[in-house]
Amino acid sequence: MAVVRLLGGRLRRLLGDKQVPVRPGPVAAVLDQLVERGGDELANLLFDRPCVDGRECRAEPAFGRDSGWRRGRDGTQLSRDLRILLNGRSVAFLDGLDTPVAESDCLTLHLAGIRGFPGG
Amino acid sequence: MSELCGWVGTVLRVDLTRGTISKEPLNEQWAREYIGGRGVAARYFYDEVDPQVEALSPDNKLIFATGPLTGTNASCGARYMVVTKGPLTGAITTSNSGGKWAPELKFAGYDMIILEGESPRPVYLWIFDDAVELRPAEHLWGSGVFETEDALKRETGLPDCAVAAIGPAGENQVLFAAIVNEKYRAAGRSGVGAVMGAKKLKAIAVRGSGAVRVADPAAMMRAQWNMKKELSDAPLTSDGLPTYGTLALMNVINEHGALPVNNFQASQFDGAENISGEHLNETRLAANKACFACTIACGRVSRISDEGVGRYAVTTSARNWKHATEGPEYENAWSLGADCGIDDFDAILKSNLLCNDLGLDPITLGATIAAAMELFENGKLDESQTGMELRFGNGDALVALTEMTAYRRGFGNEIAEGSKRMTAKFGDPDLFMGVKGQEFPAYDPRAIQGMGLGYATSNRGACHLRAYTVSAEVVGNPDQMDPRATEGKAELAIAFQNTSTAVDATGLCLFLTFGTTLEGIRPILTAATGIELDERSMLQVGERIWNLERLWNNRAGLTAADDSLPKRMLREPIVAGPAKGEVNRLPEMLPEYYELRGWSPDGEPSADKLAELGID
């Protein structure tokens, strides 16, 4: 089994522990396994929600380029506040939601969205 | 100056040598060009202080400066900046604190205090509106910050006054002594407390009965309302910081393999969970706490366990019974914890408590003890010199050395010099982990490339608050920049430096930028001051201040050679973890940084750049 390590109280509360075992597979499939356990409240945290109170979401980053890694093949869109690491490396720099998670791998999830940004 | 809004228009000038106090109008042109706080204070400092001055001599000046939004109803408008030449670094230093001290100064009618000379005997400055006087402080000399604050509240008869004080560390001119207000808020870095101690100024107590006039109160309320909505929309300012404080970062940075351990010998800590925000909440958190007008409330009120109180007794018994404390911030939990290989939260909390009471910067303290631990384990130091088994993981040694350092007792007298001087004295200067004499904060620049550039180019020595590229490289919005890449990091570091500097000038807290942007701050600044500044103009103010500080440092003798990183960061790859094999590639980023700054290849601002910014 692989393991998903959860940072922050909200994710830990919804999934009942600091880390949970998961079956290997692509990141998208691992997230599906988590949603099966955590239900709609977890799904709402992991997947996109509309911008609030009329504040425009930035379409493109001020620095770097949006690789589109948050978009799944089925059209789902990950929350912009969600960060996913595979063995400490952001999957944004691997194969996004298609990144394979193997036996003994560690996937880390945390919610750390920042709205402010210099020049943004 | 009576037309000014936001600014209250008066500067207090205190000659400690002569014991005289005068009031003068704030330089309005400088207020427009540099906004306030760090900016206006740096402009006065540039104009009045010879860069070759000895930091602890009477000729150095010590400036306390607020911004035009300090003391207004703007979210997080509670900050003041202490500007002086730092004894730890030899560079201009700008050290910031919150709480309610700065609003009280504005309510009393002053934007800034400029302290000159050196008092022949210990004094404190008492400010109550128009009444300002220097009072004897011999009876307070030797007292901790907590005792000093309590005594001054009794002595002035005004328990609501705010007190900024030094502890024994400042009196003993420990090179990283802090100035602490409301017992737990500190202008911590670079030794501003040592400068205050050298001037024999124990404290500044202030109470004001006035208010800060704003240009357009209705627009101010609208702008503030919009900002509050932005802060409540952003996960970090609405949830992450209120729930965990800055300690939310401990597990995050550790997971990225960027948490320095044992004086940067490793970058992942097995004990990180034990000193994390999650663990603090489960075991030791009592309450949240906020500064004046803050809608985030990242402050922690925590408690040392019964067992910890018993174990970590210190020689000054008055401090031993205390369970309740505040913090620790992430940086402090790292420096006193992971960097020293310590995962005992009680030892960290006790050391952090002592840092506040004795007036020490916990980042430099922990980092210097970590360097001493490496010297000890390498055989460069032994127990006959240290008086203790100074090995990584020794919480008892951490607590004991905290107190010994403030009083310069035993080996604490070596720690009191900071790690650059201490490692050089004991034969291994390469074990100093910092820039310009100041120790790194809690991010390994080999794992986060942009932080290396930010550290190297920071005007006050290694600092996380000048270019917090972690925002983009680790927890970025809306998409992450690759922390391992160097491409684009020069532009990124400059953007953060200019933005952070502009925010510092307003009197707002930098944490606001976790929830909003300069564009979000701009309407509040305009409503308060009546001066229209677009986002580009605000960034240019930040750039102007940055260049002014740089120019002063160049004249103090700092050069491009000081924009560097220790050999360990540049040549010794991380040995394990997610960033295994990485070094910081500063040479790939620094030339581009200079070029984008409009500086020469030697790191000096060009005449054209200075002219563009209106710096003469």
Of the candidates A18, A92, A116, the beta carbon closest to that of B480 is on A92
Rounded to a whole number of angstroms, the CA Rg of chain B reads 22
- Residue range A59-82: mean pLDDT, rounded: 64
Residues B73 and B20 in one domain: yes
| Contact yes or no for B250/B330 (Cβ under 8 A) | yes
The pTM of the full predicted model, rounded to 2 decimals, is: 0.95
Using CA atoms, how far residue B344 sits from A31, B298, B373, B405, B442, in Å, is 34, 22, 17, 21, 18
Q: Indicate the number of domains in chain B.
A: 3
How far is it, in rounded angstroms, from Cα B154 to Cα B149? 9
Residues B592 and B489 in one domain: yes
Of the candidates B234, B273, B520, the beta carbon closest to that of A114 is on B234
Intervals of chain B under pLDDT 70: 1-2, 316-321, 476-479
Helix (H, G, I), strand (E, B) or coil at B270: coil
Question: Are A118 and B477 in contact (CB < 8 Å)?
Answer: no
Query: Considering the domain boundaries, does residue B237 fall inside one?
Result: no
CATH code at B291? Answer: 1.10.569.10
pLDDT for B212: 97
Query: CA of B80, closest CA in chain A: separation in Å?
Result: 22
Question: Are B492 and A87 in contact (CB < 8 Å)?
Answer: no
- Residue range A33-40: mean pLDDT, rounded: 94
Of the candidates A7, A87, A116, the beta carbon closest to that of B516 is on A116
Alpha-helix residue ranges (DSSP H) falling in chain A: 9-15, 27-46
Helix (H, G, I), strand (E, B) or coil at B592: helix
For B489, which residue in chain A has the nearest alpha carbon?
A63
Residue identified by tokens 């107190």 is: B403
Query: CA of B594, closest CA in chain A: separation in Å?
Result: 19
pLDDT for B575: 97
Question: Are A116 and B514 in contact (CB < 8 Å)?
Answer: yes
Residues B165 and B259 in one domain: no
| Contact yes or no for B117/B313 (Cβ under 8 A) | no
Query: CA of B216, closest CA in chain A: separation in Å?
Result: 24
CATH number attached to the domain at A2-49+61-111:
3.10.20.30
Residues B389 and B333 in one domain: yes
Residues B30 and B101 in one domain: yes
| Contact yes or no for B16/B200 (Cβ under 8 A) | yes
Measured between beta carbons, the chain B residues lying within 8 angstroms of A18 are 273, 278
Residues B418 and B545 in one domain: no
Is A71 within 8 Å of chain B by CB? no
Residues B428 and B521 in one domain: no
Question: Are B481 and A116 in contact (CB < 8 Å)?
Answer: no
Q: Where do the DSSP E strands lie in B219-376?
A: 285-289, 299-303, 324-326
For the four alpha carbons of A13, A14, A17 and A19, in that order, the dihedral sign comes to: negative
How far is it, in rounded angstroms, from Cα B564 to Cα B583? 13
DSSP string, B296-310: S--EEEEE--HHHHH
How far is it, in rounded angstroms, from Cα B231 to Cα B465? 20
**Nearest in space to B585 (alpha carbons), one of B405, B418, B471, B445:** B445
Is A88 within 8 Å of chain B by CB? yes
For A82, which residue in chain B has the nearest alpha carbon?
B475
Residues B279 and B428 in one domain: yes
Rounded to a whole number of angstroms, the CA Rg of chain A reads 14
Whats the size of chain B, residue-wise? 616
Count of alpha carbons within 13 Å of B544, Cβ hemisphere only?
27
| Contact yes or no for B471/B454 (Cβ under 8 A) | no
Q: What is the 3-state secondary structure (H, E, C) of B20-45?
A: EEEEEECCHHHHHHHCCHHHHHHHHH
Do the bridges between strand B10-15 and strand B112-116 make them parallel or antiparallel, or are there none, so unpaired? parallel
Q: Dig out the tokens for B22 from the structure.
A: 């005068």
| Contact yes or no for B192/B381 (Cβ under 8 A) | no
pLDDT for B319: 65
Residues B356 and B396 in one domain: yes
Of the candidates B229, B251, B500, the beta carbon closest to that of A53 is on B229
Interface test with A, best of B477, B494, B503 (most A CBs within 10 A): B477
| Domain encompassing residue B75 | 10-207
Query: Considering the domain boundaries, does residue B552 fall inside one?
Result: yes
Of the candidates A57, A64, A112, the beta carbon closest to that of B240 is on A112
How far is it, in rounded angstroms, from Cα B615 to Cα B592? 23
Query: CA of A6, closest CA in chain B: separation in Å?
Result: 10
Query: Considering the domain boundaries, does residue B509 fall inside one?
Result: yes
Query: Considering the domain boundaries, does residue B5 fall inside one?
Result: no
Residue B324 burial (CB < 10 Å; 0-12/13-18/19+)? Answer: exposed
| Contact yes or no for B440/B259 (Cβ under 8 A) | no
Q: Which residues contact B208 (CB under 8 A, 6 or more apart)?
A: B103, B104, B105, B106, B107, B108, B109, B127, B128, B129
CATH code at B80? Answer: 3.60.9.10
How far is it, in rounded angstroms, from Cα A7 to Cα B235? 14
pLDDT tens-digit map of A78-115 = 887 888 999 999 998 999 899 999 999 999 999 876 55
**Nearest in space to B257 (alpha carbons), one of B582, B585, B589:** B582
Query: Considering the domain boundaries, does residue B158 fall inside one?
Result: yes
Question: Are A80 and B577 in contact (CB < 8 Å)?
Answer: no
Question: Are B234 and A12 in contact (CB < 8 Å)?
Answer: no
Measured between beta carbons, the chain B residues lying within 8 angstroms of A113 are 234-236, 475, 477
How far is it, in rounded angstroms, from Cα B562 to Cα B66? 30
Please work out, in degrees rounded to the nearest 5, the angle formed at the alpha carbon of residue B364 by the alpha carbons of B116 and B262.
170
pLDDT for B616: 84
- B182-213: buried (b, 16+ CB within 10 Å) or exposed (e) per residue? bbbbbbbbbbbbbbbbbbbbbbbbbbbeeebb
| Contact yes or no for B10/B130 (Cβ under 8 A) | no
Q: Where along chain A do its domains lie?
A: 2-49+61-111
Of the candidates B239, B240, B513, the beta carbon closest to that of A116 is on B513
Count of alpha carbons within 13 Å of B355, Cβ hemisphere only?
33
Interface test with B, best of A46, A109, A115 (most B CBs within 10 A): A115
Is A5 within 8 Å of chain B by CB? yes
Helix (H, G, I), strand (E, B) or coil at A82: strand
Query: Considering the domain boundaries, does residue B233 fall inside one?
Result: no
Query: Considering the domain boundaries, does residue B2 fall inside one?
Result: no
How far is it, in rounded angstroms, from Cα B256 to Cα A88? 5
Residues B268 and B358 in one domain: yes
How far is it, in rounded angstroms, from Cα B237 to Cα B245? 10
Using CA atoms, how far residue B227 sits from A15, A102, A105, B132, B512, in Å, is 33, 44, 41, 36, 9
Name the domain boundary from B439, B472, B498: B439
pLDDT at A20 over 70: yes
For B233, which residue in chain A has the nearest alpha carbon?
A52
Question: Are B472 and A92 in contact (CB < 8 Å)?
Answer: no
pLDDT at A75 over 80: no
Count of CB pairs separated by less than 8 Å, A with B: 149
Residues B422 and B458 in one domain: no
pLDDT for B321: 67
**Nearest in space to B286 (alpha carbons), one of B344, B330, B349:** B349
Q: What is the ipTM of this complex?
A: 0.88
| Contact yes or no for B338/B260 (Cβ under 8 A) | yes
Question: Are B234 and A116 in contact (CB < 8 Å)?
Answer: yes
Residues B79 and B203 in one domain: yes
Q: Which residues contact B189 (CB under 8 A, 6 or more apart)?
A: B86, B88, B93, B95, B176, B178, B361, B363, B364, B438, B460, B461, B463
| Contact yes or no for B201/B115 (Cβ under 8 A) | yes
pLDDT for A53: 41
Output A73-78 pairs: Cβ under 8 A, ≥24 positions apart. Answer: A73/A28, A73/A97, A73/A98, A76/A28, A76/A47, A76/A48, A77/A47, A77/A48, A78/A46, A78/A47, A78/A48
pLDDT for A67: 61
